Every structure is written in structure tokens, then in C-alpha cells.
Structure 1
């Protein structure tokens, strides 16, 4: 599978995640708004729920790129000690508010995911990345994989979901299986990489109201005819699911 990330001139540094969480245009100088935070569905990702049901979480959990904290709060509600990290103060403020309203205890920490200087070495038994990896540059992805290894205990499990460049949503930097093996593999023993489904906040109706040409101008290609929906009408993105163990 080709490495599409090398073929695009799109720069991830152009994306302002604070603006996305505030409902503003995601790229400075553009008036294109996503109308919603695409990954905020108001609950944990079904794929994460299924992992927990299957016994794939244990010990202390790190949710890397936790955003508005839905996955972290779901896991905390199941009795895990959870730390959620994100670079966005807006997202973390909202996550803390949601956790307080639900009576859940989660440690939310503002941090650069490629450094995690606020976190101790060999602390976590399970690491979750629910769609952060593909938001990093290739070099950041390598550093990030090494940083996650540092804060994980030997034998810790990594569950990582990232865009695979298939389906009705296409990001400007799609990740191939070869990318994952080259950038994550040096730091983690990869057990499996397989296709998975990722629920978004969009519906076919909201997509029909979008200006697709303007979205393409900020690097997001949407192909309505290729979009699947779940039983609640929510649009599904196609992703990779990587499962690895910290050596």
C-alpha cells in the first residue's frame, strides 16, 4: 500500500484543534467550519466499548489525545484508574466539566503527546489512542511511539485507532500498514493490525448540507456515496486498529 502522506502538501501544523473544539474554522485564514467536532459522539467509541468488554484493558490506563474525554470517562466508570492527556485546553475544560457532572474521577492533563513530560516512566498498563496518531507528522509519529513506550510498563498493551485512507472520509495524510510497522514497530511488538470502524458525529443529512469543495480546500475529502452509517444514522469512518505490546 503506498504511503500517501508523502504525496500531500497539506501541513498538519495548519490545523487548530482549539478552534475545532470552539466551533470555529479548523484552519487559520479559512472560513470553512466543520459545524461539529467530528470525533465527539457524546459517548465512548463503540470499538473502545467492545475492547473493554473483551477484557483488553487492565490496570492504570492512559488515554492519549483524549479530547472531550468520553472514552476516558467510560473506562473510569468501569472502575479503571484513567489519565487523559490532550494539548487542547478547551477540550480538557469541557472534559473535566462532563466528568464532574457524571460523578466520575479522571485525571485530565494538558500535555504534548510527543513528550508527555508531566507523566512518570513505566506508569501505565494499558494505552489507548483513539484517532490521535494520524494527526501527527511522520516524524512526530515516531517520537510519539517512543514516548508512549516510555510511560508504559513492560508488557503494557497499546490499542491504537488511526485513519487508513478508505471509505467516505479521506484525510490528507492517510496511514498505511507499512507506516505503522515502520514507526510504531521499533518501540512496540505489534500483535495485529486490522481494519475497523469509527463512528463520527456526522450524519448523511449533515454531510449533504456541507460544501464539499470548500472542505477539500482544507484537506478533507468527503465522498457521500461511499459513507456507511450505523443503526443510529451516524456516519462511519474506516480506520486501522493496531494492537501492540510494550517490549
Structure 2
């Protein structure tokens, strides 16, 4: 998608080369809310940073930030944005299940995952959460925004997103302190969202999981999870 090519959502391929559902050209409002509430302490790691807007926002608020994505094209664009803004964010290419080359002296105090976890299957999820443990400081906090089960079912994601399954995934390495349903802002219009529906889907049923926010942007049902290093 970052190269302007056709994208696969779940198991359905949609030829929308200019559509990146999570691109806001601004930080995710839930991340802004989290920072304002004092939920961020540096150094910060952002996982699956995409085009870098959350990382640049957090750096602008005075936090030391490292951010990674598996897509080199996304990191290239993020680095260009950081250079233009004079931002010190360290943008890196890395695989979330390995985290090679990711780290800071003393470890990260906060990790932000804005829509990465639900892209991983069960084995990848365990490797990711265990890997974060290795690069974090004692007592670190992990903030995750990820699909709820009703959305994952529509898009047929690689692992279960119900509360029990997620709690089990975190169990060995992290202690969940808070897990609440929220609405996640996307760059999608209602028309964009309907264009992602599998052929033959009933429009009211497909629309049932979403709401409309400011400027007509679709809000998706997400979990907001806050966990501490076990």
C-alpha cells in the first residue's frame, strides 16, 4: 500500500492503490488522549509506525521516540517527514516478531502499538510480546489498540480477537491492567468502508460494526489495552 499498489484486506483483495485505511496525516486521537492523560513516559517505542504521525507527535511532546515498521517504503517516507520537521525520531525497519536492531540503553519505558497486534497470527503474537519484554525496562507499560472480535470477523484476521484470547496471549509476559472497548479513527469514508466488503455482503450487516466520526471518518471497534511488564 505504501508503494501505491493493490492491497489485501483479510482474505479479500481490493484494488484501491491510493487507500491506506489508517492514514490520517495526523496522530491517532486515542494516542493523543493517552499522552494527555500522562500515559506516556520516555523512552518510547512505537510498533508498526506506518507513516510516522504518532511517533512525530510524541516526539513533539518531548518524548524520546524510536519507531519501526516492516515496510521500508513507510520508513523512508517517515524519515523524510522527520527531516522536514527537524524531529529526532529514530525510524527503523524491523520485523515485529524479531525486533532485530531495536533497543535503547536501559530499555523502553513505554510501548505504543496502534493497530499492529491484530495483523499477527497466534505464534507471531507470542513472539512479538516476548520480544518486547527483552527490549523494555522493568515496569514498562504497553499500550495496544487492536481490532475487537466483531471487526476481526468481518475482515477475517489471522488470530482471534476476543477478550479471552487476547488475555491468554499476554499472560506469560505482561499483566493487563486495563482492557476497554473504544472507537479507533480511520481515514475511511462510509463509501470507502463499503468498498472493502466481500462480494455479496449485505450493506446494513457490513455497516453494523462501525460508526461515523468527525469529517465523516469511519470509527472502528477496537480494544484499548494497557499492560505492564510481568
TM-score above 0.5, yes or no: yes
Deviates more, 1:168-177 or 1:28-37: 28-37
Label 1:163 to 1:29 Cα distance change in 2 as closer, same or farther (>3 A).
Answer: closer
Label 1:233 to 1:31 Cα distance change in 2 as closer, same or farther (>3 A).
Answer: closer
How far apart, CA to CA, are the structure 2 residues paired with 1:135 and 1:65?
A: 10
Which runs of no fewer than 5 residues in structure 2 stay unpaired?
none
Label 1:168 to 1:201 Cα distance change in 2 as closer, same or farther (>3 A).
Answer: farther
1:146 and 2:127 are equivalent in the alignment: no
**Alignment-derived partner of residue 109 in structure 1:** 92
**Alignment-derived partner of residue 144 in structure 2:** 160
1:200 and 2:186 are equivalent in the alignment: yes
How far apart, CA to CA, are the structure 2 residues paired with 1:132 and 1:207?
A: 19
**Alignment-derived partner of residue 25 in structure 1:** 6
One of 77, 95, 98 as aligned partner of 1:94: 77
How far apart are 1:188 and its partner, in Å?
Answer: 0.6
**Alignment-derived partner of residue 186 in structure 1:** 172
Q: Retained in 2: the 8 A contact 1:169–1:237?
A: no
Q: Retained in 1: the 8 A contact 2:45–2:108?
A: yes
1:62 and 2:48 are equivalent in the alignment: no
1:212 and 2:197 are equivalent in the alignment: yes
SS of 2:7 mapped into structure 1: coil
Q: Retained in 1: the 8 A contact 2:2–2:73?
A: yes
Q: Retained in 2: the 8 A contact 1:168–1:225?
A: no
- Count of paired positions: 222
| Alignment deviations for residues 106-164 of structure 1 (CA, whole Å, 9 cap, x no partner) | 10011111111202375100000001001011100011110011111010000001111
Which runs of no fewer than 5 residues in structure 1 stay unpaired?
1-19, 217-221
Label 1:34 to 1:201 Cα distance change in 2 as closer, same or farther (>3 A).
Answer: farther
Q: Retained in 1: the 8 A contact 2:22–2:186?
A: yes
SS of 1:22 mapped into structure 2: coil
Within 5 A, what are the aligned runs for 1:30-69?
Answer: 32-33=15-16, 35-69=18-52
How far apart, CA to CA, are the structure 2 residues paired with 1:120 and 1:70?
A: 20
How far apart, CA to CA, are the structure 1 residues paired with 2:48 and 2:170?
A: 17
Q: Retained in 2: the 8 A contact 1:168–1:223?
A: no
Q: Retained in 2: the 8 A contact 1:128–1:160?
A: yes
How far apart, CA to CA, are the structure 2 residues paired with 1:228 and 1:148?
A: 33
How far apart, CA to CA, are the structure 2 residues paired with 1:149 and 1:142?
A: 11
Q: Retained in 1: the 8 A contact 2:182–2:222?
A: yes
